[in-house]
Structure 1
Amino acid sequence: MNYKKILENWNKEYGKVSIEWSKLQEILDIDDYPYFVSIVNELEHTNVLKKYSPKKNGRNPSLFMKYKLIVEENDYLDYIKEIDYDLAPELDKSYYKQKLSTYERDRQDILAISNYIKNKKHLLNTSISTNERSYEVFRREKRIKQKGINTIMKNLGLDEDFFNYYETCEPIAYYSVSKGSPQNVLIIENQDTFYSIRKYIKTVSKNVLGIEISTVIYGGGNGRLPSINEIEEYTEEYISNINNTFYYFGDIDYAGISIYESYRERNIDKIDWVPFKEGYEYILDKVVGDSRAIEDINSLPVTKDGQKDNRKGIFMDFFDNKYQQKIENILSERKYIPQEALNFNDLISYDKEFSNE
């Protein structure tokens, strides 16, 4: 194993020379402590490392608490010339002229950026997708979003939006029974509920728990909801019409509520999404609340691990005290109700009950 090379590569990546003994053991990836000590002693003997702290680590055999990597001085004259005369004039060169070892580490990406600016800058007049621009600049379709590129661009004096690209999303699944506006649009967090309500408005009625729904949108699951800009981009104009009323329906748990609140805040400048209160109240009554109740709170599923209470209070303000208390009781017990508690048969039953009134 070439431990000297491992340390040189670490230095090039992080630009550091001082290393605590425990970090050194981690970098060299040696679990056997006595063998690790012998390697450190060998690296000291061959002038790769030297002690950087007089204190010992208290182990037997002992090592110094900190070591310094002895970096060989490189002749950076060629790099200085390259920075001064070969890089695109639009780039700020001051940082890398002072950090030549960092320039050596970042050189491949810097040259790709420089060559693109010198030869293809006119292509920046047209916005294209992230991966398309990344391949155009770096010949690697993922590179532009990978670790380190934003820092390199900052070091070169380039803004984050310099490359004029846009993010793409998964195709948006939606179904409409009407192309008129204004209309009511319902975005649904989970796939099963999306399909059930889609089936219902397609085959039975637009009246969903007393609200006339003309369009349903699948939110994508895992908290990944399409932004209003993405809805504008990937659906028809009548869906994103600002005169529409937009509803959101998700799970009753910390995550589901936080998804709604952060989503509403991100899009509030264009559209005010409101909770699909009728859906939430229906499943609360169905599961824990009135004559239709099929469970009590103790029998509800436990909230998934890692969920935190990041609520801002926006969601709860849409409900009266009765339903606020029900929701708080569920959350305080670390329980939840999935939106799948509302199924196709429930919609049919409600429709019959509603029609007979």
Structure 2
Amino acid sequence: MFEEIYKNIVKNLKGYKNKTIDIETLLAFSHDNDNRVNFIRAIHYNLFEDIIVKLCRDGKLKSRGKVAKGHRIHSKFNVIDNVNNKEKDNKIILEISKLNLKNLDYYFKNQEEYKNHKKYLLKLNDYYILPSKPYLTSNELSFKLFNDEKFFENPKTKKNLGLEIMLNLKIKYEDFNCYRTQEPFFYYIKESFFQKESREILIIENKDTYTTLKIKKLCEGFDMIIYGEGKKIISSFELANDYHINLNDNIKYFGDIDSEGFLIYKLFKEKFFRYNIKICRPLYSILLDSFDINVLPRLRNFLLDEGFEAQYVQGEDILNMKSSNLGKYCFTEPKVLSCAIEVVNSEFETCYSNKLIEILNSKKYIPQEAIALIDIDQELINFE
């Protein structure tokens, strides 16, 4: 019976016109006689499910989505290699081949994505081949092409379609003669900043701590204090020259004691490697000396944003992206942790690095806001 049902389904799939199929249709394909189909459903459904598993293993079907609760197998499948699909695939390949955009490999390999993105790709292609293009910001180009000024970059949405398409094409804004504007950062500056050739600058990850520390005696030695606004500093610091920050300045960074905080520092330092950027060890030391690991809170959810390297090639804020479709651009949780540990080992003395690694491995953290609970103005600190 196994072989008979298997052959019946394969035979019916060959003439099937669609690319996807549900479990009920596959059951109907198991026999030409409706009574026999009902018999298979009532008596041999487990056998039928085993046959579907084998069809997937043999490359005839490919499961879609997740297995529903209480079920053994998926309820929907992609149909592989039927005649109709091959004809459709050839037509799509021809369509993609006619585009002039660079790096179309992703869409040759992911034709369903091409169909979903087709109308946007055609507009991008028509604009790309123009011999002359005005110099626009990315938002201005977004509005011109798609009547949506946030099409290329909208960190408030879980899925950024415009950014996803750009990444799929491995294409840059410069290819469309446009550029991405950066949001300015908030800062506190002293008169001494304009009187020195080499200044002391402190970047603070979070707003509350920035507000607290900028007026504290502890930080009197800094000529400028910048609110980094989390990972935003990785892009906003591109405006450093506009704020007269130069390569002679000494820049210290202070963020949360958690994997994401150290990862932000790592990416920031790597991107702006020409600047003299170091971790602000004294401020981290104050936190570590003041809190026992046993009383620290656990992370509510561990960072799962991935794929930061493409960000710096493209100038994109991938750190904002949460879409599961962007998994190919993402770091996994162990990768984030290993990056954080790498920073700790390179930036801290052993007595502190051991404690930091213990905190990271246990998925606990110390928010930098905790420094406000310590009498920091009584601390004798050398920020050199």
The interval holding the TM-score normalised by the smaller chain is 0.5 to 0.7
**Could you tell me which of 329, 332, 349 is aligned with 1:320?**
349
Structure 2 residue runs without a partner (length 5+): 1-16, 33-43, 62-78, 153-161, 304-333
Alignment length (residue pairs): 277
Partners of 1:38 and 1:116 in 2: CA distance: 44
Q: CA distance change for structure 1 residues 162 and 104 in 2, over 3 Å: closer, same or farther?
A: same
- Name the structure 2 match of 1:165: 178
Q: Is the 8 A contact 2:262 2:343 kept in 1?
A: no
Partners of 2:363 and 2:128 in 1: CA distance: 54
Q: CA distance change for structure 1 residues 38 and 316 in 2, over 3 Å: closer, same or farther?
A: closer
Q: CA distance change for structure 1 residues 18 and 187 in 2, over 3 Å: closer, same or farther?
A: same
Partners of 2:186 and 2:175 in 1: CA distance: 32
**Could you tell me which of 351, 367, 371 is aligned with 1:338?**
367
**Could you tell me which of 109, 112, 117 is aligned with 2:120?**
109
165-174 or 64-73, larger mean C-alpha shift: 64-73
Q: Is the 8 A contact 1:261 1:315 kept in 2?
A: no
Q: Is the 8 A contact 1:185 1:215 kept in 2?
A: yes
1:276 aligns with 2:280: yes
Q: Which amino acid aligns with 2:144?
A: E
1:122 aligns with 2:135: no
Q: CA distance change for structure 1 residues 83 and 243 in 2, over 3 Å: closer, same or farther?
A: closer
Deviations 1:168-215 (A, max 9, x none): 444311111233242111111112111101233xxxx4x52xx71121
- Name the structure 2 match of 1:244: 249
SS of match in other structure, 2:237: helix
Q: CA distance change for structure 1 residues 160 and 57 in 2, over 3 Å: closer, same or farther?
A: farther
- Name the structure 1 match of 2:140: 132
Deviations 1:11-58 (A, max 9, x none): xxxxx9655xxxx33xxxxxxxxxx5269749x99xxxxxxxxxx984
- Name the structure 1 match of 2:24: 37
Structure 1 residue runs without a partner (length 5+): 1-15, 26-35, 46-55, 288-295
Q: How far does residue 256 in structure 1 lie from its aligned partner after superposition?
A: 2.0
Q: Is the 8 A contact 1:186 1:247 kept in 2?
A: yes
Q: How far does residue 109 in structure 1 lie from its aligned partner after superposition?
A: 3.1
TM-score by length of 2: 0.57
TM-score by length of 1: 0.60
1:263 aligns with 2:268: yes
- Name the structure 2 match of 1:7: none
Q: Which amino acid aligns with 1:214?
A: D
Q: CA distance change for structure 1 residues 175 and 262 in 2, over 3 Å: closer, same or farther?
A: same
1:216 aligns with 2:225: yes
Q: How far does residue 60 in structure 1 lie from its aligned partner after superposition?
A: 5.8
SS of match in other structure, 1:174: strand
- Name the structure 2 match of 1:303: 299
Q: Which amino acid aligns with 1:192?
A: D
Q: How far does residue 276 in structure 1 lie from its aligned partner after superposition?
A: 0.8
Q: How far does residue 320 in structure 1 lie from its aligned partner after superposition?
A: 2.7
Q: How far does residue 117 in structure 1 lie from its aligned partner after superposition?
A: 4.8
Q: CA distance change for structure 1 residues 161 and 302 in 2, over 3 Å: closer, same or farther?
A: same
SS of match in other structure, 1:305: coil
Q: Which amino acid aligns with 2:133?
A: L
In our comparison, the structure showing a higher alpha carbon Rg is: 1
- Name the structure 2 match of 1:176: 189
Q: How far does residue 137 in structure 1 lie from its aligned partner after superposition?
A: 2.8
Q: CA distance change for structure 1 residues 215 and 106 in 2, over 3 Å: closer, same or farther?
A: closer
Partners of 2:228 and 2:96 in 1: CA distance: 48
Q: How far does residue 114 in structure 1 lie from its aligned partner after superposition?
A: 4.6
Q: CA distance change for structure 1 residues 233 and 320 in 2, over 3 Å: closer, same or farther?
A: closer
Q: CA distance change for structure 1 residues 112 and 213 in 2, over 3 Å: closer, same or farther?
A: same
Q: Which amino acid aligns with 1:37?
A: E
Q: Is the 8 A contact 1:253 1:336 kept in 2?
A: yes
Q: Which amino acid aligns with 1:132?
A: E
